[in-house]
Chain A
Amino acid sequence: MLCAGPGGGSNDVQWCFSQVKGAIDDDVAEADIISTVEFNQSGELLATGDKGGRVVIFQQEQESKNKLQCRGEYNVYSTFQSHEPEFDYLKSLEIEEKINKIRWLPQKNAAHFLLSTNDKTIKLWKISERDKRPEGYNLKEEDGQYRDPNTVTTLRVPVFRPMDLMVEASPRRVFANAHTYHINSISVNSDCETYLSADDLRVNLWHLEITDRSFNIVDIKPANMEDLTEVITAAEFHPNQCNTFVYSSSKGTIRLCDMRAAALCDSHAKLFEEPEDPNNRSFFSEIISSISDVKFSHSGRYMMTRDYLSVKIWDLNMESRPVETYQVHEYLRSKLCSLYENDCIFDKFECCWNGNDSVVMTGSYNNFFRMFDRGYQQDMTLEASRENSKPRSVLKPRKVSTGGKRKKDEISVDSLDFNKKILHTAWHPLDNIIAVATTNNLYIFQDKLN
């Protein structure tokens, strides 16, 4: 497993442009807006979901024997329509087809399985390859038409013959009617049999084989909705302990629950919360403290949370405060009013770990994304843009000018484009390859191999 550093120090890693997927047009169709990005456990497959309910899966080419030191490119492997818009006639509500989350199941055979979810329904998809087809039927012609039985005088055994590779995506399970509020998270358990889904007020536990029932394990809905003060914003199973999961809230707290303690996990086992700094109190304190994403480290010892302005690393053994805090774009603190007006303050940024948990990454505005090296305590800002999209071109670190004087190559805060935001990022589990989603494009970067 490679050791990755964002830049600077003795373990310098230079990030290079590799590929960009998606339309070049500046006129972005809303259906093409990428809403989730996820590598599978091996990193061979990269799945994206968009607002139009589509899932596109990219597969990494096998590394060429002739081209050593060169990673394979990601090409389209499968595309399918996962969710369609629906209408709830009882509540007169339209259900968006937008894919909120995709999670891969650990691979057990030749086929690949993933879970995709919109606001209300989770689906299990099987992605399999077909490179053979049976030929020599007795009752049917090759084109499928039935033969006249009177013409059948002999019998033969159909045989499989090679055909062009075809990738099929088929829905194997549909998990519906279990969420009243909008689903924000799904997470596969390490037991590979169950998974959880979370909406604003509840967390449900499912078995992958059973679609007609789920177990509600967390319910924070108050008896009187007028007493509602917080909602669930994200949830995830522990990577190793199948009995443990966490869920974050809009109040900036994270609760760790142990399913062995009780069937209903309303009472947390641990509560992670950092006291608010009274000096930073503002009209928008509640908004910027709301956690938009929570991710366990691969080791399972730490978890990372993302709120509007920062990324925090928590040690599961210490609840009182995070062990590390990284400011993503602190210069936006004085702009919160404008960001509230244009709704940007409600953007939900995600975060991710690298393979060995030494570096974390998250997105920002102006198509910037940030990396924080935990070991070397260094950070770097990079940009995903078409201007820097020459093959294998090294990305130049970017800097936002916060003071009065702007240096050359720096960009001022007022010049940031808040319509260009990177909400979704993913890091290859085993290699220094990252996938960064702009509005409707997917950028793939990798470290420069010497």
Chain B
Amino acid sequence: MECAFEAQNLISISLRKIQSSRTQRGGIKLHKNLLVTYVLRNARQFYMSKNLSQMQRTNPYEDVTVVRERQEYLEWTGSFTELADDFYCNFTGVESDTWHCGAHQPNGQPAEVAHQGASACAIDSPSDSDLMVSDACWSCADKSSWELSIPNTQANQKTVLDLDTHVVTTVTNGYFHTDCCAQPKQPQGAQCYTKKRKIDISYHIVDPEFYLPDFAPVPCKRMRSDDDSHSDSDQLDSTNISNLISVLGSGGLSEFVSWQQTDLEQIFASQTICLKHTLLTGSGWTRAIEAF
């Protein structure tokens, strides 16, 4: 489960990198962002495969197709309750050789999956369309990288990146805790996150060549075709995810973006997890990208 946590962490780190690349000097680095999306894809596919295998263990007699359908349903409907079960991770200690991770069982007891050790294991190459079911684990970083100063208690954890404030927060037992932010923590009831703002799916990186003028100061042997110009204009479609992020394949990051489209006030009313973070007070909107 150490690997699953690493996958979760990698996704949040990667999203942060993509976001920060939009403001760096010299423009977006195409090469670097492409590599980051590969990491995103790999982490996502690994996490999905772990999730699927976990669900199969809990319901051994359930048809694989049904399991996959339910998996996709969970992704697309955005149910907090059911997804919280999927991403439940129970850390029993920093130095423990065994990481426990499991969904809430109907009887309330978390299942345990023993960590297989930090040695690299063979794993199938991920394909864009398949959800992998694999018992092997990725090669993992040293545990020292993952030593966390967290209390020795069970916790539901979910990682959220706020595009407005660049704050990475972790939902623990339904409570947001700011992991890192540029501003000091505000007490409850503070107004710092009460901006009304439409959720903006603004991951897309506009193809620089869209802005080329009609005249070409440097004539090339290769002529730009009409198809090229049409595809360039399509890239400005605001509903498209970033050109790079769509490399992730089927689904891409769209399941993450679906969170942005969800009215947070509706979630607040219907969910079973109580969100006490100040950004949900009043009618504030925020651009939150939820890694999970």
Contacts and interface: CB of A to CB of B under 8 A. Distances in A.
Interface of A: 90-91, 93-96, 98, 119, 177-178, 180-182, 184, 200-201, 204, 212-217, 219, 223-226, 228-231, 233, 250, 263-264, 276, 278-287, 290, 333-338, 340-341, 343, 346
B122 A212 contact: no
A212 B217 contact: yes
A119 B247 CA distance: 25
A228 B247 contact: yes
Given A286-B35, A337-B140, A346-B32, A228 B244 contact: yes
Contact of A223 (B118, B211, B228): B228
Contact of B30 (A213, A231, A338): A231
B227 A223 contact: yes
Interface stretch (B21-29, B79-87, B193-201, B283-291): B21-29
Contacts of A219: 222
B122 A335 contact: no
Given A182-B30, A281-B125, A283-B39, A215 B221 contact: yes
B25 to A, nearest CB: 6
Contacts of B46: 283
B14 to A, nearest CB: 8
Interface in B132-181: 138-142, 145
Contacts, number: 140
A30 to B, nearest CB: 10
Contacts of A231: 30-31, 34
15 contacts: A90-B211, A93-B26, A180-B212, A182-B30, A184-B31, A215-B220, A250-B34, A278-B124, A282-B138, A283-B6, A283-B7, A286-B42, A334-B139, A334-B142, A338-B142
A250 B35 contact: yes
Contacts of A340: 10, 13, 39
B247 A226 contact: yes
Contacts of B17: 343
Nearest to B42: A283
Interface residues of B, number: 52
Contacts of B145: 337-338
Interface string B12-54: 0100010000000111011110110011001100100000000
B207 interface: yes
Given A181-B30, A212-B217, A337-B145, A283 B138 contact: yes
B125 A283 contact: no
B179 to A, nearest CB: 13
B235 interface: yes
Nearest to B222: A216
B220 A214 contact: yes
> Which among A178, A224, A264, A336 has the greatest number of chain B C-beta atoms within 10 A?
A224
A341 B26 CA distance: 21
> Which among A212, A217, A341 has the greatest number of chain B C-beta atoms within 10 A?
A341
A278 B139 CA distance: 12
A305 to B, nearest CB: 16
Contacts of A204: 220
A290 B247 CA distance: 17
B219 interface: yes
A287 B244 CA distance: 15
A180 B43 contact: no
A112 B73 CA distance: 67
A198 B209 CA distance: 16
Given A223-B231, A225-B207, A281-B123, A212 B243 contact: no
Contacts of A201: 30
Given A180-B212, A200-B31, 4 more contacts: A225-B243, A283-B7, A287-B35, A337-B10
B48 to A, nearest CB: 14
Nearest to A345: B35
B140 A94 contact: no
B254 interface: no
B66 interface: no
A204 B222 CA distance: 11
